[in-house]
Chains A and B, each alone.
Chain A
């Protein structure tokens, strides 16, 4: 049910300080690409101490750790896994790496006697990853998948464009995979931070295909992303009418009924409920 996730460089105290002010549904604190190899230790300690200092956590916290084929991932997990975070984002994910992280998380959660079960958000950024998407999505703890189109297009040896034709297929596959398993389909970031029109178009393309969220690499992108992936006023009004009609129908013991000439059955009602739930969560009504 997330709409926007903002990447924040893990070694940047000024940005960490404001992480809870940017109004994204989640922040992805990045220990991987945003942190130079020589500063991995610094970033890890900073994120650890930052998390330790938090008393209230107004948004979801996701940590992008370094991939398991690096020497950093174990220390990353040891330092960041706590009740304060919600999910680990896993670069260049494969079924094997997801499985491994699941195991390590279980050990750490037990050691730290945690009540919370930390989720995993794999990043699909290789051709193999795209093919394995179905398998990956079924791994334990997965509650969303991020498409990483920059690295993917390098792997595919195609040009990465604003038009996005080159990622039409992985986007579509992501939409179906995630919808089938009821997890978040998170679109790749739009890298031109000065082009708000382009960002909106790109986000709408993803939405049209059935993705429900998008990662942001700059706080100024969040407003637009939230807008695109929020239910519209029209949809909220529709949903309210559906639920009201459902109540009335139930009171009259009607099984199936129609509204505006269209049949209202269980999937429609569930859709309406989901919209209202989202509207309430994001205070849209």
Chain B
């Protein structure tokens, strides 16, 4: 099954075997960090560097809950540059276009290794051109939690933007001018980093709720602003108006209904993109029509899902990140809107893991191949444009995994013989819905059986590929033969693919 020569793997990395291989393994847990005696309050990033004696070669981690409005990551990069620190290993849960200053640090070997779950923008270009000395490791959201708790990713200092902090060093994400809601991606960092720093712009006497208990906190840095609220709550798009996207969404819900998934107690997760939101909307209408209530919706939460909770269509929401202001407000005030850590969300070794309870998940793809392997990490040229996020995690856990996509984007068919990079293995991907037909993974004979009398256009994936080639012509195949610049690490720690220099 291996797409690459396992001998290319650095020592201590093992190749991917299967998505359920972890079930035969024991959970590895390093001890939680030392409880802190007291919390020290500082007022600048430079003073933090002095206090902690941050030096060459350290591993610094961050969460990305302030998204494209975050200031803290860039301020820390500035300080690394100012001190000309070298060989820093960064472990942010995501890297966005507004982190472009990082490119210079990579080129000058201030930063030589990065472990992250999502990478997009100028930094992806820099790394894709082979300019980073060390390796890029891309985890899934659940996999990052596993990596931290097992010691695979050892963090020296976790630098955590925290919208509100009290005088005892407790923190939460729901209060203050930079409120971002759930802080799910930071919890493993909080518990297992050697030192934990909360960076805030809002210190108050008492917090409405504690997301970061002070026993884990060593330092609080109080700044004037930790982020731009407009950029923080910028995660949602609107429901697509594109007729093709709407057709795909409609057919997805028809399909779900025919498969019997729109029933009392259903649980679901959808993405935040335009087509996914349309799916959520049609699911909502179907649920209202049938007068049923779902058990939960999970994942990154948008205002659309919050509305479904408010209208009594779900018992609970499990929230690992808030995409917009509506979600932030809801998680603050509605006890049924429950924050969850990345580990509880998606760590394969977490006994409470939510993804395993999902009935269905609606996901995207940049590429899918005839074995239903999915790429959400790179585009077809091999440039990194994203990363698994929760893709591989939810695909494993959900009873049915549906990929929605138009068949062709700018003359490029989304279906390939082989994906450029594997993010999520085909064994976990069940259905592809496009505007020109629906393909079901042949392994799912149970689904195929339920659809024998369906009026939906269900065709083998090879036929959809053929159809797309009839329209676009057959594209040249690109072989990425260049230098290995990173690893795609599956949620259980095994390496499912290599990342290559694309230019």
Contacts and interface: CB of A to CB of B under 8 A. Distances in A.
Direct contact between A and B judged by beta carbons closer than 8 A:
yes
Interface of A: 17-18, 21-23, 55, 218-220, 223, 283
Interface stretch (B65-73, B117-125, B243-251): B243-251
Nearest to A221: B243
Contacts of B107: none
A178 to B, nearest CB: 29
Contact of B436 (A21, A55, A218, A283): A21
A21 B436 CA distance: 7
Contacts of B436: 21
Contact of A17 (B243, B247, B471): B471
A17, A18, A218: which has the most chain B beta carbons within 10 Å? A18
A218 B455 contact: no
A51 to B, nearest CB: 15
Prevailing SS type, chain B contact patch: helix
| Interchain residue pairs A-B with the least CB separation, the first 5 | A219-B243, A21-B435, A220-B243, A283-B455, A18-B244
B470 A55 contact: yes
Contacts of A21: 244, 247, 435-436
B208 to A, nearest CB: 40
A55 B241 CA distance: 29
B435 A220 contact: no
Interface in B435-492: 435-436, 455, 470-471
Contacts of B241: 220
Contacts of A220: 241, 243, 246
Contacts of A55: 470
A17 B411 CA distance: 10
A254 B451 CA distance: 42
Contacts of A219: 243
A13 B185 CA distance: 43
A22 B408 CA distance: 15
Nearest to B472: A17
A23 B251 CA distance: 12
Contacts of B408: 17
Interface in B221-253: 241, 243-244, 246-247, 250
A18 B243 CA distance: 10
Given A18-B435, A220-B241, A23 B247 contact: yes
Given A18-B243, A220-B241, A220-B246, 13 more contacts: A17-B408, A17-B471, A18-B435, A21-B244, A21-B247, A22-B243, A22-B247, A23-B247, A55-B470, A218-B243, A220-B243, A223-B250, A283-B455
Please tell me the size bucket of the interface on B. Answer: 10 to 19
Contacts of A18: 243-244, 435
12 contacts: A17-B471, A18-B243, A18-B435, A21-B244, A21-B435, A22-B243, A23-B247, A55-B470, A219-B243, A220-B241, A223-B250, A283-B455
B65 to A, nearest CB: 35
Interface in B67-122: none
Contacts of A23: 247
A218 B246 CA distance: 13
Contacts of B246: 220
B78 to A, nearest CB: 43
Interface in B21-78: none
B241, B246, B247, B250: which has the most chain A beta carbons within 10 Å? B247
Nearest to B435: A21
Nearest to B410: A14
A221 to B, nearest CB: 9
B244, B246, B250, B436: which has the most chain A beta carbons within 10 Å? B244
A7 B246 CA distance: 18
Contacts of B250: 223
A123 B246 CA distance: 30
B411 to A, nearest CB: 9
Contacts of B435: 18, 21
A241 B455 CA distance: 23
Contacts of B244: 18, 21
Contacts of A17: 408, 471
B36 to A, nearest CB: 56
Nearest to B246: A220
A223 B435 CA distance: 15
A282 to B, nearest CB: 10
A157 B345 CA distance: 64
A223 B285 CA distance: 15
Nearest to A56: B470
A219 B470 CA distance: 24
Interface in B143-199: none
B110 to A, nearest CB: 44
Contacts of A223: 250
A55 B466 CA distance: 13
A199 to B, nearest CB: 14
Nearest to B436: A21
A21 B407 CA distance: 11
A223 B253 CA distance: 15
Contacts of A22: 243, 247
Nearest to B248: A21
A283 B456 CA distance: 11
Contacts of B243: 18, 22, 218-220
A21, A22, A218: which has the most chain B beta carbons within 10 Å? A21
Contacts of B471: 17
A218 B247 CA distance: 13
A17 B436 CA distance: 12
A17 B435 CA distance: 12
B71 to A, nearest CB: 38
Contacts of A218: 243
A220 B243 CA distance: 6
Nearest to A222: B243
A23 B250 CA distance: 12
A21 B250 CA distance: 13
